[in-house]
Amino acid sequence: MSSNPTNRESFGSKFGIIAATAGSAVGLGNIWRYPYITGENGGAAFIFIYLAIVLVIGIPVMLSEFTIGRRSQLNVFGAFKKLAPGKPWYLIGVMGVAAAFMILAFYTVVAGWTLEYLYQSAINGFKGKSAAELTSMFNSFTGSSFRPLLWYFIFMGFTAAIVMAGVKGGIEKSTKIMMPLLFALLIVLIVRSLFLPGAEKGLSFLFKPDFSKITTSTFLLALGQAFFSLSIGMGTLITYGSYIPKKDNLATTAVSVVITDTLVAVLAGMAIFPAVFAFGIEPASGEGLAFITIPNIFQQMTGGMFFSVAFFILLALAALTSTISVLEVIVAFFVEELKLKRSFATWIATLSVSVLGVFCVLSTSSLAGFKIAGLTIFGLMEFTTANILLPLGGLLIVIFIAWFYGRQNTLNELTNDGTIKARYIPVFMFVIKFIAPLAIAFIFLKGIGIIKI
């Protein structure tokens, strides 16, 4: 079998690998979802459970995905076809490509909102508005059709342009600039936030462990958040793993990405909550936090316009380094399996995702009343991917490595064919054979209501 097609691209440097991969992981999930969930679910107690899940499930799934990708040097579908010829494991790849369509469609909607809010920040559009006015501003924006559609397509255009430019010249090159910028913006915002009078109340909201808030549903929340935030369970990291050069250490890469992702989530909380409390605002939920509460803080703060622009650039960059990784899953599949040219594949992928994307955009306006199983199309995409496809994908991926691909093959890949050590292998194999699948299966079945305790 021809393994390494000579014209196949790969990442060029260690920093590039981390920038691209951590860029995929760090996204809207870290900056507005994680801080709020943490704050409402016991602060440090939630962080503790989240970290345990990341360690026991997140790192092993990530490492399994890297192994599959780098061993096969192929897209998510081709990878399973090659490593398990004639077996139905490639269905994981089919599921991955489907999940990529769904995630990209709803995620780009929110990413588009960040551009509207960046624009509003730049024209000082929040100035003098009360909380009620900011709420109605958000509702009337998301309740309209034209502007959200326009921003959706602009954001999709940026995503497509980067992916079209290739793995090295597009994805790696852009994330090497965007990720350091993201960190710099985050630090600026944290410093501003921590120096506000009353900031310590926000820190204690975030970090004070409150174990009374922990229930079984907290575990599901933490699992879903971990999968979504680490970009695992659907083959994004199989695809990116296939671009990691053979000489790199997959385990240290996985650990660096996990640490970066978790750090950004915690830092985002430290930028947001001290400011929320300093201005005596009730911490609101989800999108409300980023698009209502935060504008409210900025418009009261000295230099607010500057910091508001910084915040929405941060959010847009975080989203963009994630959307490119999702689009790349589909494009790599089209290029390698359907033998399309990269530019054509990107066009086809972008346009076909956008058919679903338009329905997601309109889910807060003209299609708000159209519900399937009680959810709008946007909600359905979010629910199905985060709570069903990702955990299921993650479960099947670890089972594939542990029980089908086997210890020796895995060891070969993780040691770069015997050139580096992988002393963690016994622990890793034990975890992916028993602990991770049981934990995912339990939390998953509980989450969809099959196990009731």
Cβ nearer to ligand TRP, comparing 238 with 361: 238
Choice from 228, 277, 311, 359 touching ligand TRP (CB under 6 A): 228
Return the residues of window 62-121 that contact ligand TRP according to CB under 6 A. Answer: 103
Choice from 75, 249, 299, 322 touching ligand TRP (CB under 6 A): 322
Per-residue binding string, ligand TRP, 234-253, x by CB under 6 A, is x-x-----------------
> 333 exposed, middle or buried (CB, 10 Å; 0-12, 13-18, 19+)?
buried
Tokens read off for 113 = 């909102």
List all residues 6 or more positions away from 119 whose beta carbon is below 8 Å from its beta carbon: 125
- Is 267 a binding residue for ligand TRP by CB under 6 A? The answer is no
**Residue bearing tokens 């209502």:** 292
Helix or strand holding residue 286 (H, E): helix 286-288
Separation in Å, CA 76 to CA 228, 238, 305, 334: 17, 6, 43, 11
Return the residues of window 8-47 that contact ligand TRP according to CB under 6 A. Answer: 24-25, 27-30
Cβ nearer to ligand TRP, comparing 95 with 414: 95
In whole angstroms, the minimum distance from the beta carbon of 251 to ligand TRP comes to: 20
Alpha-carbon torsion 110, 111, 113, 117, what sign?
Answer: positive
Cβ nearer to ligand TRP, comparing 326 with 380: 326
In whole angstroms, the minimum distance from the beta carbon of 393 to ligand TRP comes to: 9
Q: Which parts of 69-150 are beta strand (E)?
A: none
Report how far residue 4's alpha carbon sits from residue 451's, in angstroms, rounded to the nearest whole number. Answer: 44
Cβ nearer to ligand TRP, comparing 174 with 236: 236
Return the residues of window 172-211 that contact ligand TRP according to CB under 6 A. Answer: none
Tokens read off for 86 = 């004639």
In whole angstroms, the minimum distance from the beta carbon of 258 to ligand TRP comes to: 12
- Is 231 a binding residue for ligand TRP by CB under 6 A? The answer is yes
Per-residue binding string, ligand TRP, 344-383, x by CB under 6 A, is ----------------------------------------
- Is 229 a binding residue for ligand TRP by CB under 6 A? The answer is yes
Report how far residue 218's alpha carbon sits from residue 47's, in angstroms, rounded to the nearest whole number. Answer: 11
CA 350 to mean position of chain CA atoms? 19
- Is 391 a binding residue for ligand TRP by CB under 6 A? The answer is no
Give the residue nearest to ligand TRP (CB): 27
Report how far residue 30's alpha carbon sits from residue 240's, in angstroms, rounded to the nearest whole number. Answer: 20
Cβ nearer to ligand TRP, comparing 107 with 126: 107
Cβ nearer to ligand TRP, comparing 269 with 304: 269
Angle between helices 146-164 and 131-143 (to 10 degrees): 70
In whole angstroms, the minimum distance from the beta carbon of 22 to ligand TRP comes to: 10
List all residues 6 or more positions away from 81 whose beta carbon is below 8 Å from its beta carbon: 74, 90, 93
Report how far residue 172's alpha carbon sits from residue 122's, in angstroms, rounded to the nearest whole number. Answer: 29
In whole angstroms, the minimum distance from the beta carbon of 300 to ligand TRP comes to: 28
Size of the site for ligand TRP (CB under 6 A): 16
At residue 313's C-alpha, the angle toward residues 311 and 317, to 5°, is 120
Report how far residue 315's alpha carbon sits from residue 179's, in angstroms, rounded to the nearest whole number. Answer: 12
Binding site for ligand TRP (CB under 6 A): 24-25, 27-30, 103, 228-229, 231, 234, 236, 322, 325-326, 390
